Every structure is written in structure tokens, then in C-alpha cells.
Amino acid sequence: MADHPEIAASRATPESLRTRFARTLEAARGPAPEAAPDPLPYADDLLRRWQEPQRRYHTLTHLTAVLDRIDLLQGYADDPDAVRLAAWFHDAVYLPDRSENEDRSARLAERALPEAGLPEATTAEVARLVRLTVSHDPAEDDRDGQVLCDADLAILAASPSAYAAYTAEIRQEYHFVPNDAFREGRSAVLRHLLGLPRLFRTPHGAREWEATARHNLRAELEMLSL
């Protein structure tokens, strides 16, 4: 089923992703002077980050899945290429024992993208979108934010087996946290998500993913309370 949020990211190979990043960056920066920087070194830096050993869920597979969901939802975005670049940067800095990953990822975008030839306004939009993934609560008129957040949260609407694999990978990333503390922290995250008026803001996400995601979240929260 081409629309399912748990599709195996079979294209999650560094070489294919390098090409994908280069295409996106070139489209986002528009007409560039002949001396515009080669996109591939920037792709390689991001790919290195996404393959760091502390990652279990936040890997190239997750990145590819988010990019695929953005492709699916791009008709709802004002600037799909800015959203795609935000996906590349949104977990580029990921240390499970740190709380400022999103801001550090946004600051990485703010440093790298102007150097790579991206206009100032687009860079600012990418950084804003990265920071939005702290709350996953975009405004009603934030079409780009809605697409990024829906794409990032689509895993919540996976089948029971895929959702269980996702939660297991999250637990592995937080292996250093004692069980009681992990249950408390994870439960707080789940309650925050369930407390949002809507998990998915695009029409497609609301129609296709909302009910299943809420069922999965409630089931996980119940399991954590046992």
C-alpha cells in the first residue's frame, strides 16, 4: 500500500540520499552563480550525522520515511523544498541524553545552508521548521509546518508490529535511562501528543492516520502504566 506510513525505506542508501539532497538543495536555492558550492559535501556531512552509533530509530530509515511522506503531502505545503531540507536537518543533531537537539539542529542549518547558497529567507524557514518539531503543534495557517509535523509523526499510525518495533528502537536509544524514569518520561510525551486537538493537520493525515495513531498512543500509554 503506497500510502502506508510504515513502508520499509528501501531507498535509504547513502548514495541515493546524496542525490536526493543535492536535488532538493539545488531546487531550493534557485538560480545560482557558477561558483555555487557543490551540494554533495553538505549531504555527506548530514549522512554521517544520521548514521551515528547512538541512533536506533532516528536513522537513515527514519529520514527516508519522512522524506517519502513529504513527497506524499507536498501539495499541502507552500514551500515543499524548504520542508524537505527541514526534514534533513530536524534530527541532524541527536544525542538522547541532551534536551536541546532541535535547537542545535536548527543552528546547524543556519550555519550550513547560507554557505551552501540558500537564500536567507529560505534558511530562516528551514530553521523555524526544525524548531517546530519540539512541539509538533503548527499553527492553523502554517502549511509547511503541518506537512513536516505530519510526515514526522506518521510512524504513530503504523501497524501494531511496526509500532512495536518503533517503540523498541526508542527504548534502545534511551538505554541509559532506568525503567521507571523512562516510563514516566515516555508517558509524558504520549499524554502531550494525545492532548493535541489533532495529531495530523493536513487533510490527508487527518483522514488516513489520526484514528490509528491515537489508538496506538493510548495502547502504549496503557501498557506503560501496568
Per-residue pLDDT for the chain (226 aa), expressed as one digit of tens each? Answer: 335 554 444 467 999 999 999 999 999 998 766 778 999 999 999 999 999 999 999 999 999 999 999 999 999 999 999 999 999 999 999 999 998 999 999 999 999 999 999 999 999 999 999 999 999 999 999 999 999 999 999 999 999 999 999 999 999 999 999 999 999 999 999 999 999 999 999 999 999 999 999 999 999 999 999 8
- Return the pLDDT at 1: 31
Q: b/e string for 26-50 if b means 16 or more Cβ within 10 A? A: eebbeeeeeeeeebeebbeebbebb
- Return the pLDDT at 35: 78
- Return the pLDDT at 23: 96
Domain ranges of the chain: 14-224
Q: How far apart (Å, rounded) are the C-alpha atoms in residues 135 and 115?
A: 28
> C-alpha cell of 161?
508490529
For cell 503506497, the residue is 2
Four-residue CA torsion sign, 80, 125, 48, 59: negative
- Asked if 40 and 23 touch (Cβ cutoff 8 Å), the reply is no
DSSP state, residue 87: H
14-224 fold: Catalytic domain of cyclic nucleotide phosphodiesterase 4b2b (1.10.1300)
pTM for the whole thing? 0.93
DSSP state, residue 118: -
Distance of CA 117 to the CA centre of its chain: 23
Q: How far apart (Å, rounded) are the C-alpha atoms in residues 91 and 58?
A: 7
